[in-house]
Chains A and B, each alone.
Chain A
Amino acid sequence: MAPPPACFRYPVHVPIHRLADQLVNQIAAGEVVERPAAVVKELVENSLDAGATRIDVEVVGGGLDAIVVRDDGGGIPQAELALALAAHATSKIATLDELEAVGSLGFRGEALASILAVARFSLASRTAEAAHGWQVGGAGAASGATPEPVAMPCGTKVEVHDLFFNTPARRKFMRQPATERRHVEQRLRCLALARPEVAFGFSSDARRVLEFARAAGTVALEARVNAVCGKEFLTNALAIDEARAGLRLYGWVGLPAFARNQADLQYLFVNGRVVRDKLLGHALRRAYADVLHSTRYPAFVLYLELDPARVDVNVHPAKTEVRFRDAATVHDFMLGAVHGAIRRARPDAEQHRVETFALPARSTGVAGAEDTPRAPPAGGGFSYSAPYRAGLALGRPGAGMGVGDWALADAVRRLEVPADSVPAAAEGDGNYALGRPLAQLLGVYILAENRGGLVLVDAHAAHERVLYERLKRQLAAGAIPSQALLVPESVRLGDDEIERLLAEREKLGRLGFRFDRSGPESILLRGVPPLIAHTDCSALLAELASGSAEGDSRHLFDEALDAQERVLANVACKAAIKANRHLTLAEMDALLRDMERTERSGQCNHGRPTWVQIGMPELDRLFLRGR
């Protein structure tokens, strides 16, 4: 018989023994310090907890060769330096009560010990009272030597060299230095957003990469957000500041039309802590549910503040997950605030000024040239001159439908227009937000004139949204019927899933689902909502039951309703006017007025913008007027 594999073989008896401190710390390091970015995060959070107002981070070789973090915080007295390196030694908490209401970023007392366990390490610190700084260090373990005096300004400096020098296996998992550097930079951007009142500097291989000045007040915070997320974000974002039931949410959510192809512009902070939380993520996804295509990601920078006692951060060593004492309240608050902002937003004149419509210097010159070859649809600079004019050439006989269609659609897509929000209703004397219709462009777009200039409306997308919102209102207003099934369907589910469904039986009944328990692990589906009666309802119910396992029962109903609304979205899309449908001025006027009354009319069900504004200054610029 073949011997069992090595990992299954154990000797007759090995006495139980205590692990060496260094090994304990190395095991802890496995959780806390998984890559250079994690080291930077731990050290910077220490600096923030020490009350620093400026933090400088330097890395060499993506942080694998060296990481240096300097701050101007309170510093560590000489007597405590050696203890600071020991595991489970911290100044941040002392009792369980303090742990349960912890306000500092760290509290486990593990970071320095863990880093020390896997790197060559030195810690130098000077308090305001001390005449000079003191330094301790070690490689893999504290050297045990007494602190040495060192010349330095007030604050703390931590140097980490040769990360993972004694754990070659971990070192092999590291990516290219450039990749690790990017991770460090990304983590720092996050931290910089979390604490705008602190100045941050970051250099890599002696090259300055980031520099954030201290920011205080809204304007400065906006500057910080601009620096981290890019200028387009704030131009295309809605500000939120809401407080309710001891919760406060502020920050910005991107307009649905500004959605991204990846989840790269998503920053969420809970009490200043960078968090990637399932519950909050779900609330945000739902808030954007029917204004965004499922493959697009919303952009947001949001700060959630609440009493530290109401949130448990002691869930995960890296503290990226949190647990709320009243998850349902937080979820609903978050959903309500973001949803409300998206729904209620009114256009403001500033936001609708399309700054980026300006021509880049390069194409300004060619804008007037008649025979400029058309810019390719994708890539490179924003050069819409030729296609834009081709699209606008209303009466030109030669302008083929296909070309015009493509070109204008393309041009519009490239306009960074905050094409969102409910346009303000009439302000008397026929001053409509979306203006008076002038004509229909090649059977696709409505041209309208308002005080700001030209409004372009995608008639199909706009009509689709108007119909969809109407259908949704009808669905919500009337009771949802339930079509009884001739042969009840047996759905196999886990015991606790069934309990969960049964607990919400009445509410699900109002959404059209009727069912009974038929055995220890199955329920009998007796009635389904007619809207989705011809789809696989038992699969949907099973999905609902398992999906709500994580969060509160609320999700259950949301998803049950969503499934039906998705059908409505399809109905609306099919029922909406199609391209090449000739519209009279009266019809166009009615559609524009409908849009002004409809919530979320800024984008169609798939998240495409329904209208854009092209202001007079931009039009003037096209013709070089007033230059």
Chain B
Amino acid sequence: MNIVISRGNLLSALQQVIGVVERRQSLPILGNVFLRVSDDQLELRTTDLEIQIGCAVQVQNLAPGSVTAPARKLYDICRGLPEGSEIELQEQEGRLRVKSGRSRYVLATLPAADFPELEQIEGQATFEMPSAVLKSLIVRTQFAMAQQDVRYYLNGLLLEVADKTMRAVATDGHRLAVSEEAVECTSEAGGQYIVPRKTVLEVARLLDVQDATVKLGLAAGQLVMRVNDCTLVSKLVDGSYPEYKRVIPENGDHCAVANREAVKQALTRAAILSNEKFRGVRVGLASGVMKIETQNPDQEEAFEEVSIAYEGEDLTIGFNVTYLLDALNAMNGEEFALEMRGPDASGLIYDEKIPQHKYVVMPMRL
């Protein structure tokens, strides 16, 4: 294998795939990136046996072949080389020679034949959508995913497909985020797919491109996503997701509409004096005003008042302020609606203009 490629192209290709490579490896080859040259294409691939990302770039092909080399080292070298330089990669006697200007590096390699590959499952339901749509589904919900929960199925994002809509749901058992978008499907498809947490983060990263079309394939146990020249294959979480629809409250009788930015800032300030472990704040609704108050173990106290549109009985509910802020941060409208039913019942946050995105936050008894 022998190629010449510009630093910019190689670096951006490596950036696409490097996220999968864990810093600590029990299997050495998983720390490597798979490189294969055929025609005028360089194919790069990395995997952690759960996720696999591959991408292709144009190169000047001097000799075809394939090899695997330490991914992070190659990436760091590439990044450190001056902008606009040309890089020559040459495999020689089981080593990968990296040459650029007067810099020379020799990297250890492992045989390309040993590099594991995730087989793509047949019979997927495939969807095509603008990258911004999938990106929005993820950004609006992913913060609510659980992290290392014993209920392993919560450590991921639920993608639910039905009636030409795709819905993303995430919950950690204390709050829930749900977002819905219309999608085009090539076949009659429906079902629930739990995407692992790491895959969600990787997918979000690959979607940082403008105006691309994403091809998403979902099958039992596998997700395949193609965007531009990249292909991501991931295993899915095997498990059944809780019945999330039941916990989304309906017809809350205390409904307030408020300026998102104003409430967000008031909460952020009040959070400074909340108990740093519990992060509890009291949110009170009264006619035309939202009161936010909290105190910490040092008896320091915060009071905030924000004007809102609310007519109804006075009501006060305790919340973990982080959960409220996460939800408000994931929205982008100017105003938001807050629906509550009682001090022990969940609160619902949504944007009245786009009500298909909803956030449910459970109260905290303070």
Contacts and interface: CB of A to CB of B under 8 A. Distances in A.
A527 B365 contact: yes
A486 B366 contact: no
Contacts of A474: 297
A393 interface: no
A265 interface: no
Given A486-B346, A514-B365, A531-B278, A481 B318 contact: yes
B297 A530 contact: no
B242 interface: yes
Given A530-B364, A534-B149, A481 B280 contact: yes
Contact of B364 (A481, A539, A567): A481
B174 A533 contact: yes
Interface residues of B, number: 29
A485 interface: yes
A481 B365 contact: yes
Contacts of B277: 530-531, 567, 571
Contacts of A485: 173-174, 362
B127 to A, nearest CB: 28
Contacts of B366: 479, 481
Interface string A531-575: 101101001000000000000000000000000000100010000
A477 B175 CA distance: 28
Please classify the interface of chain A as helix (H, G, I), strand (E, B), loop, or mixed, using the class held by over half of its residues.
mixed
B216 interface: no
Nearest to B361: A486
A309 B141 CA distance: 66
A424 interface: no
Interface string B160-177: 000000000001111110
Nearest to B242: A487
Nearest to A530: B278
Interface in A473-497: 474, 477-479, 481-487, 489
Contact of A484 (B147, B243, B297, B363): B363
- Which of A483, A489, A530, A536 has the largest count of B CB atoms less than 10 A from its CB? A483
B113 interface: no
B365 A482 contact: yes
B297 A486 contact: no
Contacts of B280: 481, 530
Contacts of B363: 484
B149 A486 contact: no
Contacts of A534: 147-149, 172
B77 interface: no
Interface residues of A, number: 22
Given A477-B297, A530-B364, A483 B150 contact: no
B52 interface: no
Please classify the interface of chain B as helix (H, G, I), strand (E, B), loop, or mixed, using the class held by over half of its residues.
loop
A85 B78 CA distance: 94
B247 interface: yes
B297 A481 contact: no
A481 B247 CA distance: 22
Interface in A430-485: 474, 477-479, 481-485
Interface string B347-366: 00000000000001011111
Nearest to B280: A481
Contacts of B171: 486-487
Contacts of A531: 277-278
B175 A486 contact: yes
Given A477-B297, A478-B297, A533-B174, A486 B362 contact: yes
Contacts of A478: 275, 297
Given A534-B149, A536-B150, A484 B278 contact: no
Nearest to A483: B364
B344 interface: yes
Contacts of B243: 487
Interface in A510-542: 514, 527, 530-531, 533-534, 536, 539
Interface string B224-264: 00000000000000000011000100000000000000000
Nearest to B362: A484
B320 interface: yes
A487 B278 contact: no
A539 B242 CA distance: 19
A487 B149 CA distance: 14
A482 B320 CA distance: 10
Nearest to A512: B365
Contacts of B278: 481, 530-531
Nearest to B248: A486
Contact of A486 (B279, B318, B360): B360
B247 A486 contact: yes
Nearest to B318: A481
Contacts of A489: 173
- Which of A484, A527, A531 has the largest count of B CB atoms less than 10 A from its CB? A484
Contacts of B279: 530
A539 B171 CA distance: 20
Given A474-B297, A531-B277, A484 B346 contact: yes
A621 B346 CA distance: 71
Nearest to B176: A486
A479 B318 CA distance: 13
Given A481-B278, A530-B277, A486 B173 contact: yes
Contacts of A482: 364-365
Interface in B269-283: 275, 277-280
A536 B154 CA distance: 13
- Which of B148, B297, B318 has the largest count of A CB atoms less than 10 A from its CB? B297
Given A481-B278, A530-B280, A536-B150, A486 B174 contact: yes
B241 to A, nearest CB: 10
Contacts of B346: 484, 486
- Interface pairs A-B: 6 shortest CB-CB: A474-B297, A484-B362, A482-B365, A530-B278, A536-B150, A481-B366
Interface of B: 147-150, 171-176, 242-243, 247, 275, 277-280, 297, 318, 320, 344, 346, 360, 362-366
Given A477-B297, A481-B365, A483-B320, 10 more contacts: A481-B366, A483-B362, A484-B363, A484-B364, A485-B362, A486-B346, A487-B243, A531-B277, A536-B150, A539-B150
Interface of A: 474, 477-479, 481-487, 489, 514, 527, 530-531, 533-534, 536, 539, 567, 571
5 contacts: A478-B275, A481-B366, A483-B364, A484-B346, A487-B243
